[in-house]
Amino acid sequence: MWHPIDHFLFHGLVGETIVAYLITFVVPLAGPALFIRFVGIKGLRNVLTYEPKDTPIHRLDPRLKLLYPVFIGVSSVLLSWQWTYVLFGVTLVPWVLLRPSRVRVRVLAVIVVAPALLAIWSQGLYATTPHDKLIFAFPVTMAWVGTVGLSKAGLVYGAHQASRILVTSSAALILVFTTQPSDVVWATTRLLAPQRIGLAISVGVRFLPSLFERLNTVMRAAEVRGYDFTTPDRWWRPRQSWDYARRMVRALPLLTVPILVGSLRGCSQMALVADSRAFNVSPRRSTYRVVAWRTGDKVALVLGVLVAAGVLVIVLTGNGRF
């Protein structure tokens, strides 16, 4: 015997439509809401940075830490999703050693878990086939969203994808949280054979903040000239929103010119400086910095090799795929 409320929600067109709307929009909107509430753009910039601490992970050779997310990422592609979740468990071990601050854990949870949930949910709705068993079939009023409903097979497929998001984020953030930018640049230039790529990465890290600063200056200069970037007070009025969008689009070429000209002038000077400092003259550069190979590095390397061997065995024995 159906309860009247159940009947309304699952057997009436209106109720089914309400549930379908909730299924379609609550989770996708919850992700951004969580992000804005607990992280925000400024929070992301402040928290996704190196956190000075004295832990075994911080002391590791930056080259090992740079290889770590690469290895984990490749493994997550080779392994089945069940094994990838096991690998995710393995990647949590460094976090235990790291003991990040509560603020960072909160941010970490949001920026890692929110995309994973979104992946599961979107696949649950859209990775469906006509033979799938639906957990909830959408009524005809929801035909416009382009799916027949929420399927179990889709959710499982989403969980496959989520496993890879989780494991890669977990490994990459260890690098970001525990390695100084200068160490990342150094490790990159040491590991990459082509000097040009190493220099490009180094210059990129060095100049990214300057580029944002410059964009800010040029936008201010345009505003002083009278160009308006402020969001309209009555944004819900189509005319104001349309004007705002048009101003933004028209600003792109305006702002690009000074930034591009400034950067090109800077680049030609930078090229002169790099060439005058013998860039790319010798096939193999010598090194100023010597990173001592310590016990911790050896232990990490051995553990890494063991995990790699495990991954290899799983893949070679055919247990990796399903």
Partner 1 sequence: MSADRIAGQPVPAVLRARVEELCYHPDRPPALRSIDLAVRTGEMVVVAGPSGSGKSTLALALAGLIPHRVGVAAWAGEVTWEQGGAAPVDLTALPLHQAAQHVGIVFQNPEYQLIQYQVDAEVAFGPENLALPHDEVVARVWESLAKVGAEGLAHEAISGLSGGQKQRVAIAAALAMSAPMLVLDEPTSDLDPVGTDEVLAVLHRLAHEEGHGVVLVEHKLDEVAPYADRVLLVQDGQVVIDGHPRDAFVPTSRWRAAGVRPPELAALSEALPERFGATVALTVEEAAGRWEGAAGRWLGARPEVAPVGLVSTGTSGAEDAALEIAGVTVSFKQRRAVDGAELRVGAGEWVALVGANGSGKTTIGSTLMGFVEPAAGSATVFGRPTVFGKIPKQADRLGYLFQNVDDMLFCETVRAELEFTRRNRVPAGPDAPDPAEVARLIGLADRLDAHPYALSGGERQRLALGALLTRAPRGLILDEPTTGLDEAHAEALFELLARVRTSIGSLTCLLITHDMRLVARFADRIVVVREGRIVLDTTPRRAFARIELLEECGVRPPPIARLHARLAARPLDEVAVSVDELVGLLGLQGEDIHRGVVHVASD
Q: Which residues here bind partner 1, judged by CB under 8 A?
A: 181-182, 185-186, 199, 202-203, 205-206, 209-210, 214, 217-218, 220-228, 230, 250, 254-255, 257-258, 261-262, 265-267, 269-270, 272-282, 284-290
Looking at beta carbons only, is 14 or 267 nearer to partner 1?
267
| Minimum distance, C-beta of residue 44 to partner 1, in the bound complex (Å) | 16
Minimum CB distance to partner 1 smaller for 1 or for 278: 278
> d(Cα 12, Cα 121) in Å, to the nearest integer?
24
**Which of 156, 219 has the CB closer to partner 1?**
219
Is the CB of 214 or the CB of 304 nearer to partner 1? 214
Query: Minimal CA–CA distance to 168: which of 93, 112, 126?
Result: 112
Smallest distance, Å, CB 53 to partner 1?
18
Q: Rounded distance, CA 89 to CA 301, Å? A: 18
Angle at which helices 62-78 and 81-98 cross, to 10°: 160
Both tokens of 223, joined, read 């505003």
Q: How far apart are CB 278 and partner 1 at their closest, in Å? A: 3
Shortest separation between residue 250's beta carbon and partner 1, angstroms = 8
The nearest distance, CB 222 to partner 1, in angstroms, is 7
CB of residue 47 to partner 1, shortest distance in Å: 14
Of the pair 268, 319, the CB lying nearest partner 1 is at 268
Rounded to a whole number of angstroms, the distance between the first and last alpha carbons of the chain is 41
For residue 300, the Cα-to-chain-centroid distance in whole angstroms is 25
Could you tell me the two tokens for 98?
Answer: 């790291």
Q: Using the minimum distance from each CB to partner 1, give the nearer residue, 32 or 266.
A: 266
8-state DSSP, 51:
-
Tell me whether residue 74 or residue 272 sits nearer to partner 1 (CB atom).
272
Phi-psi category of 55—alpha, beta or left, where left has phi over 0 and alpha has psi -120 to 50? beta
| 3-state secondary structure at position 227 | coil
Q: Which residues of 156-184 are buried (b: 16+ CB within 10 A; e: fewer)?
A: ebbbbbbbbbbbbbbbbbbbbbbbeeebb
CB of 240 to partner 1, least distance (A): 14
